[in-house]
Amino acid sequence: MFPAAKPAIGPAIDDGFYYDFDMDSPFTPEDLTAIEKKMSEIIKKNNPFVRKNIPKKDAIDLFKKMGEDYKVELISEIADEEMSIYEEGGFVDLCRGPHVFSTGAIKAFKLLSIAGAYWRGNEKNKMLQRIYGTAYDSKEKLKEHLDFLEEVKKRDHRKLGKELDLFSVSEDIGPGLILWHPNGAIIRKTIEDFWRDEHYKADYKLLYSPHIAKLNLWQKSGHLDFYRENMYSPMEIEGVDYELKPMNCPFHISVYKSSLRSYREFPVRYAELGTVYRYERSGVLHGLLRVRGFTQDDAHIFCREDQMEDEILNILDFTLFILKTFGFDSYDVYLSTRPEKYVGTQENWEKATNALRQALEKKGLSYQVDPGEGVFYGPKIDIKIKDSLNRYWQCSTIQVDFNNPERFDINFRGSDGKDHRPIMIHRALMGSLERFFGVLIEHYAGIFPLWLAPVQIGIITIAERHSDYALGIARSLKAEGLRVETNLENEKIGHKIREATIRKVPYLVIIGDKEIAEGKLTVRKRSGENIGPFTVEEFTGVIKSEIKNKK
């Protein structure tokens, strides 16, 4: 159908597959329809998939003759001396396999979308055309998946973010940089206030740190050696190179080093809502979920080695409490071990890994080992939360670090009067506020619980003569710290209710002649249920109780 198309790479992914093609012009939705029709014809023919193992040199010659440069490049980099290829109806492709025996085994499929993708994910390479699809062994399972995808579209945080006026991204400012609108900003403030209050209770000290630092700091921390591709180009200030911060940790270390430390004051717990900047390629930017500037709910704990396990246990408790408060009760836990590129001694890596493992086992948390997925300075625990659509999101992390205390030569005076090296633990409970907020939007489909809702109570009037009374009610509720908006427009009451419902306002107070005469409030929940009537004081009590319980 497209003789000039060069196949590149096409793996299976979690919920389907994709294939990249080198094409002079992009595929269109009409092309997908035509390709699906041809696929159905091939399925009806029940053509066999025939596997052949051939020497690497023969494979290179075969794909060179076919003009498939991408396959030749892939084969050249594979260490195996023998390659497996599959043939079907005259079509030949490089693949590790295994395959179903014949095309007739494919019962239900759908081509889903088209996207651009750089060859091997590198923006310096050619842009290819990617076709996404999925396949199931029954039409019923395919329909179930397609219905799920429709629900995902409805909950897309970018779509809801615009509809609910939560945030935006401006090309004038730059991709991956988020503008928080008033509705989104008030939710963020609520999250931050809760976060700060709970950290004070947990005996953390809050910090603020700059957005830039001398380049030498990042050299000392190891970020230039291990993280350079995710950092921005340095800027020169008075002849000295400075760098936008990709992490907060060196700043917290500097605060620690600002005075002499004794074993008696340990553990020292520093926390910061610190904004960092990382160079993410434009092709992977995605709303709030993948950005270039974001705020981490970051913390660093300095402790003695004998305190390490207890601190990890405390962090696990704190993490699960925070996640549960935001409505996440299901999660998977991973223990990530030493990667190929790392710093520090194997002995210290083993100590840190064992401390993390023992803490998980003491908490009775089931976990999976993720080999080689630790960060360059230490092993970690990652917690992936499950949302209301049963999708997993990486948010929380706990990382033990023997490296930075060595690099920055930080110490404390022990009970023996000698200097000792502290253990440093990095941790984030929500991860990035931007990403966490994006997950929250999709988890709740924009229907935030009352304590997070940007507008908690909408007050609407039946007629213009009710406006003064409505404004008085609004003042009373605002004085109690509640987020209230009034709609006094000369519109039909049904229109006002629909408008508030679209904006997902949790409670509507309707004011008319009856309410004014009786001194009571008629209240409608966003579900459509009517409750009350209440006096202003009774209604305030109901709302404040729900907010206090984080409902």
Q: Which residues are catalytic?
A: 249, 278, 296, 298, 300, 380, 426
For 244, residues 6+ apart whose C-beta sits below 8 A from its C-beta are: 211, 212, 231, 232, 235, 276, 277
**Do residues 22 and 117 touch, judged by C-beta distance below 8 A?**
no
Closest to 398 measured CA to CA, from 278, 272, 313: 313
Angle, helices 139-155/433-444, rounded to nearest 10 degrees: 120
- With tokens 């390629």, the residue in question is 281
Cis peptide before 454 (omega within 30 of 0): no
**Do residues 358 and 324 touch, judged by C-beta distance below 8 A?**
no
Residue 184 DSSP code: H
Residue 493 DSSP code: H
Cis peptide before 98 (omega within 30 of 0): yes
Phi, psi of 497 (to 5 degrees): -65, -45
CA-to-CA separations, 286 to 320, 448, 539, in angstroms, rounded: 27, 22, 41
- With tokens 């196949």, the residue in question is 7
For β-strands 331-336 and 392-401, DSSP reports them as: unpaired
Specify which residues 524 forms β-bridges with. 508, 530
